Structure 1
Amino acid sequence: MKQIALPFDELNPDRTDDCLIVTASNAVAFAALGNSASWPGHCAILVGPPRSGKSLMARYFATQGGQVIDDADRLPEEKLFHQWNAAKSAGIGLLLVSSSAPADWDISLPDLRSRLGASQLLEIGPLDDELAEQLLLKFLRDRGTSIGPEALAFVVRRIERSHVAVENLAKMANALALAEGTAITLPLVRRLMPT
């Protein structure tokens, strides 16, 4: 696992989520961002579950000179087609971000469908134990708190394998610890995560 500090100060100096944690679940997708010249048509489509770091990766790619279209699956087809052509003509890497792969998009323009089908697909994989642990630690650290090793191990073994579930647990654990004036301990997380 490595934690990469991304250069977002010039974009928004008030950001607190400027670190992307890279583990086996997202390492291949992140590494591919540095090689946009090899993408077919200089275009890639980044897909992954909610809160999985797609936007962080996209902002990083934009700081490296690439063009990003977030929620590309919701953009009108003609606009997406023209932006794809413009980026290719300019020789700029284009990263389309979506929660689903192009096969699930409602595309009627044949030329756009073929371009998307030929684009590099970058997938963020399921949450692994290492990422679940590091995300929980980060979310709690962002809130100015921490969790003991016993409680952390308990959570990682039992939590739903979703980025959203980890973030929600961090919020609930922090709120409960604050309300009760206690640390985030094993008994506290047991109450939030029935076995």
Structure 2
Amino acid sequence: MKQIALPFDELNPDRTDDCLIVTPSNAIAFAALGNSASWPGHCALLLGPARSGKSLMARYFSVQSGRVIDDADRLSAEDLFHQWNAAKNSGEALLLVSGKAPGEWNIELPDLRSRIGAAQLLEIGELDDELAEQLLLKFLRDRGTSIGPEALAFVVRRIERSHAAVEDFAKKANALALAEGSAITLPLVRRLMPA
């Protein structure tokens, strides 16, 4: 696992989430962002579930080397086609970010559908144990709290394999610990996550 501090200080100095944690679940997609010259048509689709780090990766890419369209599936086909052509005319690589596979997009223009179908596909995989652990530690650290190793291991073994579930659990555990004036211990997490 490696944690990459992203160069966003000049964009928003108050952010606390500007570190992207790279583990096997997202390492291939992250590495491919640095090789946009090899993308077919200089375009890639970055796909992943909610709260999986897509936006952080996209921000990293835009600062480093290219144009990003977040929530690309929500753009009209005409707007998307215009953005595609603008990126091509400027010589920039284009990263389209979405939580949906291209087959779920509403693309009525055959030429655009063909281009998107030929683009490099970068997928953020299912949350692995290493990423679940590191995300939980980060979300708690961002709230000024921590969790003991025994409680951490208990949570990682049982938590739903989604980035949003890990963040939600961190919020609940932190709130309960603050309300009770206690640390985030194994008995506390057992109450939030029955065995």
Q: TM above 0.5, one fold? A: yes
What residue is the counterpart of 1:128 in the other structure?
128
What residue is the counterpart of 2:40 in the other structure?
40
Task: Give me the TM-score of the superposition, normalised by structure 2.
Answer: 0.99
Distance 2:121 2:103 in 1: 11
Distance 2:98 2:2 in 1: 24
Match of 1:96, SS? strand
Q: Is the Cα–Cα contact under 8 Å of residues 77 and 106 in structure 2 kept in the other structure?
A: no
What residue is the counterpart of 2:74 in the other structure?
74
What residue is the counterpart of 2:106 in the other structure?
106
Runs of 5+ unmatched residues, structure 2:
none
Q: Percent identity?
A: 84
Alignment deviations for residues 95-119 of structure 1 (CA, whole Å, 9 cap, x no partner): 0000011112111100000000000
What residue is the counterpart of 2:54 in the other structure?
54
Q: CA deviation at 1:10?
A: 1.1
After superposing on structure 2, the runs of 4+ consecutive aligned residues of structure 1 that deviate more than 2 Å are none
Distance 2:121 2:65 in 1: 20
Match of 1:20, SS? strand
Alignment deviations for residues 6-63 of structure 1 (CA, whole Å, 9 cap, x no partner): 0001111111100000000000000000011110111001000000000000000010
Distance 1:41 1:9 in 2: 31
Alignment deviations for residues 132-187 of structure 1 (CA, whole Å, 9 cap, x no partner): 00000000000000000000000000000000000000000000000000000000
Kindly provide the amino acid, as one letter, of the partner of residue 60 in structure 1: Y
Kindly provide the amino acid, as one letter, of the partner of residue 170 in structure 1: A
Distance 1:65 1:135 in 2: 27
Pair 1:163-2:163 in alignment = yes
Alignment deviations for residues 79-104 of structure 1 (CA, whole Å, 9 cap, x no partner): 10011111112110100000011112
What residue is the counterpart of 1:138 in the other structure?
138
Match of 1:126, SS? coil
**Stretch of structure 1 that moved more, 85-94 or 3-12:** 85-94
Distance 2:134 2:180 in 1: 25
Kindly provide the amino acid, as one letter, of the partner of residue 79 in structure 1: D
Task: Give me the TM-score of the superposition, normalised by structure 1.
Answer: 0.99
Kindly provide the amino acid, as one letter, of the partner of residue 97 in structure 1: V
Q: CA deviation at 1:65?
A: 2.8
Kindly provide the amino acid, as one letter, of the partner of residue 107 in structure 2: I
Q: What is the Cα-based RMSD across aligned positions, in Å?
A: 0.6
Distance 2:146 2:60 in 1: 27
